[in-house]
Amino acid sequence: MLYDISAPISAEVCVWPGDRAFRRETTFDRSAGDPVTASAIHTTVHVGTHADAFSHVAPDGATIDQMPLDAYVGRCQVVRVDVTRATAIRPDDLTETIRTTRVLLATGTFPDPTRFNEDFAALSVELADALHAAGVRLVGIDTPGVDLFTAAGLPVHRRLAEHGIASIEGLRLDHVPPGEYELIALPLRLVGCDASPLRAVLRPVPS
């Protein structure tokens, strides 16, 4: 059994305001008499469910092809966080003890991947520090950003990069019960890029 925790990528999926929306075009089309159908896509690398590289905020940070792959595969914990919209999640907002080195936060504050709402919840710098102290290597969230929409200078992005904590944004976790899973969410080997879309899945592990 697998839980697909990726947002569908199509022309309907929203992207960060001002970024490049998804567009597909056919370079060959069987319906037009070509022997095959082949497509080209044009979009931001931050489309849908995606992993940010450290180079997204740090000039000398690792690009997505340089990020350690083992951060994106392995035991993880899905944690539901009961916070209101536009809240920076603090360590005491987590009601569960972190038991794994990968943590996925389900806030429910960005319910529709086709409609961008600016008042989603995100991490606080204090939570980034607490996750680092707990030995976390990767954090994911079901919103478009680990920083609040209004955050100036992306302080959480920068703190995660300083701590060497990989991040995933835009997860779909509404159908996933809290608990421990195996995460498989490999980024594409996009040389020099600052992010990559993911096909992220969770596999239940024996209790």
Judged by DSSP in three states, 129 sits in: helix
∠ CA 70-46-147, rounded to 5°: 85
Measured distance CA(19)–CA(120) in Å, rounded: 18
Q: What type of residue is 169? A: E
Catalytic positions? 56
Measured distance CA(129)–CA(203) in Å, rounded: 28
Dihedral, CA of residue 174, residue 179, residue 181 and residue 185, to nearest 10: 40
CB 168 within 8 A of CB 50: yes
Q: CA distances (Å), 194 to each of 62, 160, 168, 176, in order?
A: 8, 14, 12, 28
